[in-house]
A = this chain, B = another copy of it.
Amino acid sequence: MDDWLKDSTEVEASWVTVDLAIFTIRSGQLMVLLIERGVEPFLGRPALPGGYVHKNETLREGALRELREEAGIDGNKLHLEQLGAYGDPRRDPRGRVVTIAYLALGPDLPAPVGGTDARRAYWAPVSQLEGKQAALAFDHPAILAEALEQVRSKLEYTAVATAFCSELLTLSELRTVYEVIWGQQLDPSNFRRKVLNTTGFVKPTGDQRFPPTGRPAALYRRGDAWLLNPPLLRGAGHTA
């Protein structure tokens, strides 16, 4: 943090980028936004969207800008949190590039518009990716893996699952979020009891939503609570 070393040959300036792991749920699957790289290195390879941090913006502002530029997504409507920094000196063949990975979660997001420096952008099912992650450019396989574990873990002890739902949500929708991301069935009755007994997880609106068939579902909004106490642990689930 001091400049006694700035002139030493051991220290060099770095390029700083942000990379985004953007997740959503579409057609019952957990999807991540990928781009097909339009420039070297890794030309043509799939990668997480991202780009250089500009001069006068914070890291978060940079992430929000890339979200808009590369995916055409308005960041105000989704959850954005920092995942971590990746700075292996050999992670980018062009030289030292430190990237700050961000995790973004949103409700069923629109098909992304092609980014500025990407041939195209598209939603990729995470399930299809977890085997052949080696296809991703740079150290993005590792970033994606950490992002996934972060999401799965945060579902347990925070109310982050509501970020995957629109403003008005039913308990079934919320349960489906857990089921899709954890890849495991949950007992609807026990899930309902758990969520409603956790003060501040969701708050009732009084309105209802009428599904194509079956009893109407009560509509809720996100509550004020962020930490779930006690947490909603995975495991057990439904043996069905």
Contact = CB atoms under 8 A, between A and B. Distances in A.
A15 interface: yes
Contact of A39 (B2, B37, B49, B85): B2
Which residue among A49, A50, A55 has the maximum number of chain B CB atoms within 10 Å of its CB?
A: A55
A15 B9 contact: no
Contacts of A94: 3
Contacts of A213: none
Helix, strand, loop or mixed for chain A's interface? loop
A51 interface: yes
Interface string A196-220: 0000000000000000000000000
Contacts of A58: 87-89
A71 interface: no
Contacts of A6: 15, 52
A88 to B, nearest CB: 5
Contact of A85 (B10, B54, B84): B84
Contacts of A10: 54-55
A179 to B, nearest CB: 20
Given A15-B13, A235-B229, A56 B89 contact: yes
Contacts of A240: none
Copies in the assembly, this chain? 2
A51 B98 contact: no
B87 A138 contact: no
Interface string A40-62: 00000001111111111111000
A24 to B, nearest CB: 21
Contact of A89 (B1, B49, B55, B99): B55
A107 B228 CA distance: 31
A99 B229 contact: no
Interface string A114-125: 001100000000
24 contacts: A1-B17, A1-B48, A1-B99, A1-B137, A1-B138, A2-B39, A5-B52, A11-B53, A13-B13, A14-B14, A14-B15, A16-B87, A53-B87, A55-B96, A58-B87, A58-B88, A59-B85, A82-B84, A82-B85, A84-B85, A85-B100, A157-B231, A230-B233, A231-B231
